[in-house]
């Protein structure tokens, strides 16, 4: 009798393990990438009082079982309300594991949301898809209602209402435009122009920062903070990216300006981690 190796449970476990390892690796690569304006990096805590690199790395490792479970449950499943609810439960349990690992500090809430949905999207497509297809599968899930989600207050929600801008939910529901239209193309352009890998990744972060309405920045530094972030990041790219002398100087100015405003682009950092994840796992045809 003919066997179907592609549909075996073993294939699901192997895929889930790979996706979970890559998601955790992407979080660690994002955290270590240096220098990032306002964010935790290899130099220190940026604009944060309660975060540091060791804590970010501990949190990333604590999330690997959550990513594994998300991939396993989502394998070859269609985007429907049942899967949405299961993914929501797993995401919330991941948040609880993060909080336990960090003694109550929010290291990765936004990252669990973005990467969790993308891990699910990749598993729904059996791990063989383009970045655009994975983002669309993730978006189909993010658009579905999760009736079991608690209606709780959050800083992100308050910022989206006060400033009438899209936040983390909308970015996912719109199939991650900042990754597909800005970060991945910039990563590839900077690599092709001869930038070192770390420089190309910083340029990809800049590309996200030119346009994201990052609710972390809005909550801490209002519209002034957001404008400083967007214009400063655009300047780095206009000067040829951080690999050029002038681009590197603009990056240092942006870092100083963000620290002065106590602003940290945590949402942009989440989307950079998600970009690195997709860059590592997806078929390279878009």
Ligand X SMILES: CC(C)(COP(=O)(O)OP(=O)(O)OC[C@H]1O[C@@H](n2cnc3c(N)ncnc32)[C@H](O)[C@@H]1O)[C@@H](O)C(=O)NCCC(=O)NCCS
Ligand Y SMILES: Nc1ncnc2c1ncn2[C@@H]1O[C@H](COP(=O)(O)OP(=O)(O)OP(=O)(O)O)[C@@H](O)[C@H]1O
Bridge partners (DSSP) of residue 283 are 130
Sign of CA dihedral 216, 218, 222, 225: positive
Contact 220, 266 (CB under 8 A): no
User: Taking CB within 5 to 8 Å according to partner kind, which of ligand Y, ligand X, none is near residue 168?
Assistant: ligand X
Please give the sequence-ordered ranges of beta strands (E in DSSP) within the chain, or none if there are none. none
- Position among 269, 271, 274, 282 found at the interface with ligand Y (CB under 6 A): 269
Phi, psi of 12 (to 5 degrees): -65, -45
Q: Report the C-alpha gap between 115 and 285 in whole angstroms.
A: 21
Radius of gyration of the chain (CA): 18
Closest contact distance (angstroms) between CB of 286 and ligand Y is 25
State how far Cα 115 lies from the chain centre.
6
Helix (H, G, I), strand (E, B), or coil: what is residue 283?
strand
State how far Cα 26 lies from the chain centre.
9
User: Taking CB within 5 to 8 Å according to partner kind, which of ligand Y, ligand X, none is near residue 220?
Assistant: ligand Y
Angle, in degrees to the nearest 10, between helices 184-192 and 197-209:
140
Binding flags for ligand X, 192-231, as an x/- string (CB under 6 A)? --------------------xxxxx---------------
275 binds ligand Y (CB under 6 A): no
158 binds ligand Y (CB under 6 A): no
Closest contact distance (angstroms) between CB of 6 and ligand X is 26
46 binds ligand X (CB under 6 A): no
- Position among 70, 87, 101, 111 found at the interface with ligand Y (CB under 6 A): 111
Residues 80 to 119 in contact with ligand X, rule: CB under 6 A = 87-88, 91-92, 109-110, 112-113, 116-117
Residues 132 to 161 in contact with ligand X, rule: CB under 6 A = 146, 149, 154-157
User: Taking CB within 5 to 8 Å according to partner kind, which of ligand Y, ligand X, none is near residue 123?
Assistant: none
- Position among 12, 40, 131, 207 found at the interface with ligand Y (CB under 6 A): 40
Q: Report the C-alpha gap between 167 and 164 in whole angstroms.
A: 9
Count the alpha carbons within 13 Å of 233 in the hemisphere toward its beta carbon: 26
Count the alpha carbons within 13 Å of 91 in the hemisphere toward its beta carbon: 26
State the number of binding residues for ligand Y (CB under 6 A). 19
48 binds ligand Y (CB under 6 A): yes
State how far Cα 180 lies from the chain centre.
12
77 binds ligand X (CB under 6 A): no
Closest contact distance (angstroms) between CB of 114 and ligand X is 6
CB-wise, 170 or 197, nearer to ligand X? 170
Please give the sequence-ordered ranges of beta strands (E in DSSP) within 95-224, or none if there are none. none
19 binds ligand X (CB under 6 A): no
- Footprint of ligand X (CB under 6 A): 87-88, 91-92, 109-110, 112-113, 116-117, 146, 149, 154-157, 166-169, 171, 212-216, 266-267, 270-271
């Amino acid at each position: 009798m003919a066997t179907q190796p592609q549909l075996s449970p073993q294939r699901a476990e192997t895929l889930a393990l790979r996706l979970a390892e890559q998601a955790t690796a992407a979080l660690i690569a994002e955290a270590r990438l240096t220098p990032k304006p306002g964010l935790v990096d290899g130099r220190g805590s940026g604009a944060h009082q309660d975060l540091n690199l060791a804590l970010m790395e501990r949190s990333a490792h604590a999330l690997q079982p959550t990513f594994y479970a998300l991939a396993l449950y989502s394998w070859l499943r269609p985007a429907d309300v049942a899967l949405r609810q299961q993914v929501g439960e797993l995401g919330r349990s991941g948040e609880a594991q993060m909080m336990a690992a960090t003694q109550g500090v929010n290291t990765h809430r936004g990252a669990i949301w973005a990467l969790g949905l993308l891990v699910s999207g990749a598993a729904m497509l059996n791990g063989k898809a383009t970045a655009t297809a994975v983002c669309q599968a993730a978006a189909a899930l993010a658009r579905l209602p999760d009736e079991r989600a608690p209606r709780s207050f959050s800083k992100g929600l308050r910022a989206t209402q006060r400033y009438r801008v899209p936040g983390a939910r909308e970015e996912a529901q719109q199939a991650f435009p900042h990754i597909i239209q800005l970060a991945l193309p910039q990563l590839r352009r900077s690599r092709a122009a001869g930038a070192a890998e770390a420089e190309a990744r910083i340029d990809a972060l800049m590309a996200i920062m030119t346009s994201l309405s990052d609710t972390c920045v809005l909550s801490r530094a209002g519209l002034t903070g957001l404008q400083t972030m967007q214009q400063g990041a655009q300047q780095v790219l206009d000067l040829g990216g951080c690999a050029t002398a002038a681009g590197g100087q603009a990056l240092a100015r942006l870092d100083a300006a963000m620290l002065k405003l106590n602003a940290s682009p945590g949402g942009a950092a989440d989307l950079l981690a998600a970009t690195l994840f997709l860059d590592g796992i997806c078929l390279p045809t878009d």
